[in-house]
Amino acid sequence: LNITFILPDKNKITVAANEGDSLMQTAVDNDIEQISGDCGGCCSCATCHCFIDDKWKDKMLLADDMETELLEGAIDNMQENSRLACQIFLSKEHDGLVVHVPESDW
Ligand code: FES
């Protein structure tokens, strides 16, 4: 399945992702440097913050309480479509997903 990352400088990178991988792992594997995934995906560092494209926001599962709490506590530029990429596990339904990558806060 293909995932497109739109970088802070508006460059687009489309990568092939594996089903079952997290969005964070996919970004790290493809050298998207603004998504560093420092905690390894255990929902404690927020260095995997990203924005889900508007066209996709209704198709995604919502963030759970733990993710929402971390987003609210750690992210200054949090928006309605903010997510932690390590909490999104990719399946066929995500083919074509577009993710906006914020400037790194770290
Ligand atoms: Fe640490 Fe997502 S990788 S919260």
Is 60 in contact with 51 (CB distance < 8 Å)? no
Q: How confident is the model at residue 106 (pLDDT cuts 50, 70, 90)?
A: low
The ipTM estimated for the assembled molecules is: 0.99
pLDDT at 57: 85
Q: Is residue 14 part of a domain?
A: yes
- Give me the CATH number covering residue 44: 3.10.20.30
Domain limits for position 48: 2-100
| Number of structural domains in the chain | 1
Mean per-residue pLDDT, 23-29 = 98
Q: Which atom of ligand 1 is nearest to the CA of 39?
A: 1
Mean per-residue pLDDT, 19-36 = 97
Please tell me if the CB atom of residue 22 comes closer than 6 angstroms to any atom of ligand 1: no
- How close is the Cα of 83 to the center of ligand 1, in Å? 10
Per-residue model confidence as pLDDT tens digits over 67-90: 999 999 999 999 999 999 999 999
**Whole-prediction pTM:** 0.95
Q: Is residue 6 part of a domain?
A: yes
Per-residue model confidence as pLDDT tens digits over 29-79: 999 999 999 999 999 999 999 999 999 988 898 999 999 999 999 999 999
* pLDDT exceeds 70 at position 105: no
Please tell me if the CB atom of residue 48 comes closer than 6 angstroms to any atom of ligand 1: yes
Q: Which protein residue's CA is at the shortest distance from atom 4 of ligand 1?
A: 43
Q: Is residue 106 part of a domain?
A: no
- How close is the Cα of 55 to the center of ligand 1, in Å? 24
In angstroms, rounded to a whole number, what is the distance separating the alpha carbons of residues 47 and 95? 23
Cα-based angle 58, 78, 62 (whole degrees, multiple of 5): 30
